[in-house]
Structure 1
Amino acid sequence: MLAIDTNVIVRYLVNDDHAQAAQARRLIDNNAMVLPKAEEEWVRRASAFLKSEMKKADVTYAELVKRLKKHGLKDETEAGITMKLKRGTFSAVFFLACVASLEIEQVALMDI
């Protein structure tokens, strides 16, 4: 059985980094894998959750950049965050740093 990291699946789906997407395609296509719809659904839901929480907290992308810096993500930009949330392409570290930056104390899976 072949296990694949979620980031590989996301690269395959969104093709945001062409070199990594090509590697993901080779890995997935050569092993005749079928991507479960659940992966695509989680990508969409996580992005929608962050956008919704930003709106609730009245936090702009510019403000989120500032807040993320306080949590160690110093290279984030407004444009980068916009694209990550638009495509749903972000790491668990980014997601958790956003949760911390938005001062969300708990996240229930049913809320995502």
Structure 2
Amino acid sequence: MAERTDWEEKATGVLRAEMARHGVTHAQLVEKLADKGIEDNERNLRNIVSRGKFTAGFLLQCLSAPGCTSLYLE
């Protein structure tokens, strides 16, 4: 399996940090995504985030679902 790049590590870190900042678990994120019409399950979401191989669109969906309106990238 290919190793994650620094940017994939960064994207995963940003997503996990924002989930923690908003107090959202993977299960809650699945529910919030479903409210926006994006169907997934907790196991799949955990795997995607864990691998760090996701699109920018997926990242934006996951960040907007709990109400993230800004990002700190440093």
Superposition TM-score, scaled by structure 2 size = 0.84
Instruction: Find the counterpart in structure 1 of residue 43 from structure 2.
Output: 79
Shift of 1:13: 2.7
CA root-mean-square deviation: 1.9
Instruction: Find the counterpart in structure 2 of residue 102 from structure 1.
Output: 66
Unaligned runs of 5+ residues in structure 2 are none
Larger Rg: 1
Identify, as 1 or 2, the structure richer in helix: 1
Partner Cα separation in structure 2 for residue 106 and residue 58 of structure 1 = 16
| Aligned sequence identity (%) | 27
Runs of 4+ with deviation above 2 angstroms: none
| Count of aligned pairs between the two proteins | 74
Superposition TM-score, scaled by structure 1 size = 0.58
Q: Which has the higher contact order (CA 8 A, sep 6+)?
A: 2
Unaligned runs of 5+ residues in structure 1 are 1-11, 15-38
